[in-house]
Amino acid sequence: MSIRIIVIEPDEVLHQMAKEVKKITPNVQKLLNDMADTMYDAEGVGLAAPQVGILKRLIVVDVGDENGLIKLINPEVVSAEGEQFGPEGCLSIPKINGDVRRAETVTVKGLDPEGKEITITGSGLLARAFLHEIDHLNGVLFTDIAEKVYEYIPERLGKE
């Protein structure tokens, strides 16, 4: 496992559609582990493969809840309900935040690193993280859909 370099906007890879993973190989599993290490090192709550320059449909998410680290291959949203509105940031767009409207609860399905299909339902921050990372797989950044974009201000997110 290793830390990968996070691609920064305006790199074109962030605006491209990621490709479906057709076969789970040891390289795919290593990439997922590297992505998790990279996310933790950068103190993020999610990371998509395009953010490390690889156009594959892979995400990792850990919002610090009972689900722990979630690694998903070919994730897709099965259902989305309700609405939340709040600040988002992105490891690929440092020092910028934006107010984004997202579903409050989402159900996502995909494959785990062993190829088993899994379905996870999450609300609040987990729903936001899933939607944010899946957007990355489709070449969409939070700044593309934010109602307001502003310079990162730690106090606004309740952090120092």
Positions at the binding site for Fe cation: 90, 132, 136
Contact between 129 and 90 (Cβ < 8 Å): no
**Strand residue runs (E) in the chain:** 46-48, 58-61, 70-81, 84-88, 96-102, 105-111, 117-123, 148-151
Write out the two tokens for 87.
Answer: 């600040």
Is residue 98 within 8 A of residue 140, CB to CB? The reply is no
**Would you state the structure tokens that stand for residue 53, as one six-digit string?**
């320059």
Annotation says 133 is catalytic:
yes
CB-hemisphere CA count at 13 Å for 6? Answer: 20
Annotated binding site: 90, 132, 136
CA nearest 125: which of 103, 97, 152?
Answer: 103
CB 64 within 8 A of CB 104: no
Closest by alpha carbon to 69, among 38, 103, 100?
38
Q: Which of 43, 83, 114, 133 is catalytic?
A: 133
Which are the catalytic amino acids? Answer: 133
